[in-house]
Chain A
Amino acid sequence: MQLLWNGLTDAISLLLNRDPLVLDAAWRSLWISATAVSFAALLGIASGSLLARRKIFARSLLVVLLRAGMGLPTVLIGLVGYSLLSRRGPLGGLELLYSPWAIVLGEICLAVPIIGTWTHSAIRGLDPRAAETALTLGAGKLRRWRTYLSETRLSILLALLTAFARCISELGIAIMVGGNIPYRTQTLTTATATETARGELARGVAMSLILLTIALLVTLSIAWLSRGKEPQ
């Protein structure tokens, strides 16, 4: 207990003194996760709304696969990403392995099923009168699609926050395709694991505190947004 307490006080001191390793990992984690969720939002919202509104071939199977994707272990995504991006892999020529962009790609794969599934469920669950109202008032395909997204915007925003929380707290992808290189690909989670293993408990606790703060902020945002989610 004393060890953890000492770690906590040292961690606060590190944060107050703006430890470069801690701040670097925190900043990288934030931009990698934000970038991944931004790209995943485009793919997830498009695929989710397409599956919700269009009768396409094997739609039920695709929905099941999308839902199954929410439970993908991050190490599995990391493993597949490593196989694809390694020098002998099909995408080896891009030379992305052990770069932050490799982590971004992996986290996109993690976030798309979350955003896609939530978008699909939200639009499928929309009152049928919403679609009929837009149709009967003469809205074209694009305007109807925008209307569906507008009517379900709260659910989609919650999906984005959930995907962001999942991305920033994942470890498997960042280690396997990022390589955990300090000041280059190290994120909060990989740095926490490394520093703790090296006996630098204070740094580990400092980074965990940042992660905890981000997780709390996301959770509070989700709770606050969900509060206003009332059926019409």
Chain B
Amino acid sequence: MKPLIQIRNLEVRKKGMNICRADELDVQPGQHLAIVGPNGSGKTTLLRVIGALEKQFTGQCHLEVPIRQCVYVHQTPYLLRGTVLFNATYGLAARGVNARERNAVALQWLARLGIDRLADRPCDQLSGGEKRRLALVRALAIQPQLLLLDEPFADLDQDGIDTVCDALDEASGATILMASPVPLPERLSMRVFSLR
């Protein structure tokens, strides 16, 4: 099977410093991959290169998926001004889904991540953990083929981690790449790619 992501001799340099290096990485469709490594090893940069947010690199990074089907979730998510529901439906609205349908889909995902009661709340009134869950809802609602998560378990308590793991289990079919400096929850069985 042709890999969904194929990386060869990828290198990112900033101000003469090598900030990310990945010699060889193939990710198959539907695979879940954890990118681990110490701080500064280039986990975020690698995800940004794959998500086409980082354009200055040498080597090869080939994706067998349209970039519109690939969603990157920041380590510290940025929520747009407005309500929780507005944020949750943003990606669906960008895809031309009508208001009734996108609200229904977004509310389902908000419920799965346990924040449906906050649908009408302005985003600046959310806690760190709630913001992270909302960013995940926003990404999962559009059912991307490739989901890039930068440290999705930061700021979450055990209950939050369990909820996110449940939600990721439900993102069936999606290829998931996750950067994490800490050991991943045991229940997540993922292939591990280490950066030094």
Contact = CB atoms under 8 A, between A and B. Distances in A.
Contacts of A139: 90, 94
Contacts of B71: 136-138
Interface stretch (B13-21, B72-80, B101-109): B72-80
Interface string A122-140: 0000010110111111111
A139 B76 CA distance: 20
A2 interface: no
Contacts, number: 55
A151 interface: yes
A219 to B, nearest CB: 25
B43 interface: no
Nearest to A153: B81
A35 interface: no
A129 B142 contact: no
Nearest to B69: A138
A151 B80 contact: yes
B99 interface: no
A130 B79 CA distance: 8
Contacts of B53: 132, 135-136
A137 B74 contact: no
Contacts of B139: 137
Chain A interface residue count: which class?
10 to 19
Interface residues of B, number: 24
A184 interface: no
B80 A130 contact: yes
B42 interface: no
Given A132-B53, A132-B72, A232-B124, A137 B142 contact: yes
Interface centre among A130, A135, A150 (most CB of B within 10 A): A135
A130 to B, nearest CB: 6
A53 interface: no
A143 interface: yes
Given A137-B142, A151-B80, A132 B74 contact: yes
A140 B96 CA distance: 11
Nearest to A135: B53
Given A133-B80, A230-B124, A140 B94 contact: yes
Nearest to B75: A129
A108 to B, nearest CB: 29
20 contacts: A127-B78, A129-B77, A132-B78, A133-B74, A133-B77, A134-B90, A136-B51, A136-B70, A136-B71, A136-B72, A137-B90, A137-B139, A138-B68, A138-B95, A143-B93, A147-B80, A151-B81, A153-B81, A232-B79, A232-B124
Given A138-B95, A151-B81, 15 more contacts: A129-B74, A129-B76, A129-B78, A133-B74, A135-B53, A136-B51, A137-B90, A137-B139, A137-B142, A138-B91, A138-B142, A139-B94, A140-B94, A150-B82, A230-B124
